[in-house]
Amino acid sequence: QKEVEQDPGPLSVPEGAIVSLNCTYSNSAFQYFMWYRQYSRKGPELLMYTYSSGNKEDGRFTAQVDKSSKYISLFIRDSQPSDSATYLCAMRAGANSKLTFGKGITLSVRP
């Protein structure tokens, strides 16, 4: 089993839809969780950064971590065509341990 599994996609939704992106993981030591957004031919851009379990909201984006189920999610409300990108989850155990990334899921929001 891979350390981090991410839904493979691609995912296509109409504008205004609520989008749910998910990652599962096997390493119970992971405690720092990130979501990155990557536009085509660009580097990943940090969207959300959370520590341990719980929810974090930033505008239309909500990150959710359930450590008991080893499951993290990113919700996008009122999705826009500008949200069309690849979304990568990433996580690590300790403060100085390496990041482990999911493979990414490509989201397309149709006008």
Residues that bind another protein (CB under 8 A): 4, 6, 32, 34, 36, 41-46, 49, 51, 88, 90, 95-96, 98-104
Of 13 and 47, which has the nearer Cβ to another protein? 47
The residue (of 16 and 94) whose beta carbon lies closer to another protein is 94
In the complex with another protein, the residue whose CB is nearer, 33 or 79, is: 33
Q: Hey, CA dihedral for 107, 105, 59, 55, is it positive or negative?
A: positive
Backbone angles phi, psi at 83, to 5 degrees: -80, -5
CB 4 within 8 A of CB 25: yes
Residue 77: CB minimum distance to another protein, A: 23
